[in-house]
Amino acid sequence: MNNISVKQTQSISLEEVSGRLDFLWLELTARCNLKCIHCYAESAPIPKFQDKLTPQDYFRLIDEASFLACRKIQFIGGEPTLVRELPDFIKHARKRGFEFIEVFTNGTTISDKLLQCFMDNDVAVAISFYSDKAEIHDDITKKFGSHKATLRNIKRILGAGLRIRAGI
């Protein structure tokens, strides 16, 4: 799809653009608290690349995708739970009519406040999980204790009644 801004599409009917954008992936940051050996984005605690978009840019992108009748969104990273504005983005997407909202996370940094936001906004959660053996998982993430933190948060998410899937 071409880059179409809301201003450019004001004279286009919703029927003309409906179906052109089905799913929006927003990579919120290059930062990650882990150093996974296979990371396609080369994310890390101190990433090689600086984040380019501002929170206002993300709000605008959510608005534009909503205008184009997009109703599915996924927040990814790096590690999206490290982004302070993630709850605001989630709430904004819900208000803009997104029917499916998902956060793809490593599952190690989900605070009580963020979990409540997930519950309040019926957020689906996708979690990277590399092994049922802690030493293998931690070796892949290069962070001791990441398996334990991920497993603990998987249990919390399930306990909250949220949809969850694992990227293995």
Domains of the chain (ranges; CATH) run: 6-125 (3.20.20.70)
* Residuewise pLDDT in 10s, the chain (168 residues): 444 444 444 555 556 655 578 999 999 999 999 999 998 888 888 877 788 899 999 999 999 999 999 999 999 999 999 999 999 999 999 999 999 999 999 999 999 999 999 999 999 999 999 999 999 999 999 999 999 999 999 999 999 999 999 988
Q: What is the pTM of this model?
A: 0.87
- Give phi and psi for 73, each to the nearest 5: -140, 145
pLDDT at 44: 81
Q: Could you tell me if 75 and 96 are in contact, meaning their C-beta atoms sit under 8 angstroms apart?
A: no
What integer pLDDT is reported at residue 14 of this predicted model? 56
